[in-house]
Homo-oligomer: A and B are copies of this chain.
Amino acid sequence: MTDNDQLLRGLLDRTAVISDLSQAHAVLSWDENTYMPPGAAEARGQQMATLETVTHERLTDPVLGELVEGLEAAGLPDDSVEAATVRQARRDIDRATKLPVELVEALGKHAARARAVWARARQEQDFATFAPELERMVELKRQEAEALGYDDHPYDALHDLYEPGSTAARLRAVFDPLRRETVELVRAIGESGRAIDDGVLRQAYDEADQERFALDTVTAFGYDLEHGRLDRTVHPFAMALGMHDVRITTRYQGHYLNAALFGTMHEAGHALYEQGISSDYYRTPLESTVSLGVHESQSRLWENLVGRSHAFWEGAYPRLQRTFPGQLRAMPLDDFYAAINRVEPSFIRVEADEVTYNLHVMLRFELELGLIGGDLTVRDLPAAWNDFMTDALGITPPNDALGVLQDVHWSIGLFGYFPTYTLGNLMSVQLFEAALAAHPELPREIRGGHFATLLGWLRENVHRHGARYLPADLLKRATGSDLDAAPYLAYLRRKYAALYRLG
């Protein structure tokens, strides 16, 4: 073995243990969110905290740091797996070492407190009680940004945790035209005079039948139950307990079909990504997904580009009609397709349609950029929120529960996270169109209920790489392009011009 081989072996021995501990933590977390009896909550928190401490000790072990330094100095070829492994290990170590322990503890404690205050404030539509908690959280996050370091804007340090290599300046360059043109499209749809009725989705639907249809759909996509499972939870999620065990959950609403239908596709999209990571990277720093934006691109691709497409329902609608004959027998495919794609400005992000969704995200990006940069005070936040809503969507929240208080994210310190939702939307179209260019037969296959070609392309160009490339590099390799809002906007215009008969 060369010296580098020995250093790498030492690194991988140590990161393998860290991988196992992280996965054990994920098992505890999955159980906590599914089947754990309620009286075990406190003990579970203790178990998870101890696993975090033990993992932190391993990540901050000076020997590991020295191995990484040695490999960084070794001149590994830039594009090699080894260099990527070292880069990812460095990211993990820096996250664990750069923040003072006191700051981590203060953030953890304040998050628990602020979340509880937020929940009450939302219920009582009372922003004033939440404001001091949010002020303190913003202050802590600014300290975190300083500790992590950044070149341009403190926001970059926080956003980079979720989207490596992305910055506020890059986001702005993409978001500015996206916002402008989305607002125009929303206005055109509003002025089209065409009203779509989605009452068909709001009938009584048997939950067991919903579950069977959803599970059939996502296993047809390629979701592998040998390495996954579907359970029910109030808040749906996808969670990797390692690449060999990627589980999803769904909620079933007895009188609304969308949650189970598109929610399951969404979570399965996340899970397909994790299930597709190359087993070459098992127990190495590269076994994880590369960013939340790329993650979201996969969930959105299956939920929207496939699941809300006309081609998909040409094949799947007869099956849905057979599952729910009483509700759907008399409903033509095109009316059903219109119902699941209805556009309507609304107050709540998580209920927003494909067109308006990104405006909700860009609103949050603008405001948190102001908060972290010091250009916006918490006191001015509700007014800023409502102004943006009025400008962009033409509606004004009647209270803060339908406005600034609707999301949990800021209360628990998630700043720099929201933009990844829109990055995912943009990349989902860029990736889908690259797959389409390589495989023009895709629409025909999707119509026929066959998804192997699409999944194969995603596996090859996205999934298998794990954390091997930075998000921007991954996108460039897969599509030949940089991040770009134009394909997404063109997709929206095409789809919704037809649906709303725009000129």
Contacts and interface: CB of A to CB of B under 8 A. Distances in A.
Nearest to A53: B17
Contacts of A53: 17
A36 interface: yes
Given A226-B37, A241-B40, A245-B37, A24 B24 contact: yes
Nearest to A283: B46
Q: For this complex, into which size category does the number of interface residues on chain A fall?
A: 35 or more
A35 B245 CA distance: 11
Interface string A17-29: 1001101100110
A283 to B, nearest CB: 7
Interface string A237-266: 000011111010000000000000000000
Contacts of A40: 227, 241-242, 244-245
A51 interface: yes
B283 A39 contact: no
A226 B43 CA distance: 13
A38 interface: yes
A241 B40 CA distance: 9
Given A44-B245, A283-B46, A24 B39 contact: no
A17 B50 contact: yes
Interface string A266-294: 00000000000000001100000000000
B37 A50 contact: no
Contacts of A229: 35, 37
Copies in the complex: 2
A23 B43 contact: yes
Contacts of A47: 20, 23-24, 27, 242
Nearest to A48: B24
A13 B227 CA distance: 38
A225 B37 CA distance: 7
Interface string A40-63: 101110110111011000000000
Contacts of A27: 27-28, 31, 47
A224 interface: yes
Contacts of A413: none
A245 B50 contact: no
A228 interface: yes
A30 B242 CA distance: 17
Given A46-B283, A54-B21, A38 B242 contact: no
A43 B244 CA distance: 7
A36 B27 CA distance: 10
A247 to B, nearest CB: 8
Nearest 7 Cβ contacts at the A-B interface = A40-B245, A20-B50, A39-B226, A39-B227, A43-B244, A20-B47, A40-B244
28 contacts: A17-B54, A20-B46, A20-B47, A20-B51, A21-B50, A21-B51, A21-B54, A23-B47, A24-B28, A24-B47, A24-B50, A27-B47, A30-B31, A31-B31, A35-B35, A36-B245, A37-B225, A37-B226, A39-B224, A39-B226, A40-B227, A40-B242, A42-B244, A43-B244, A43-B245, A43-B282, A46-B283, A54-B54
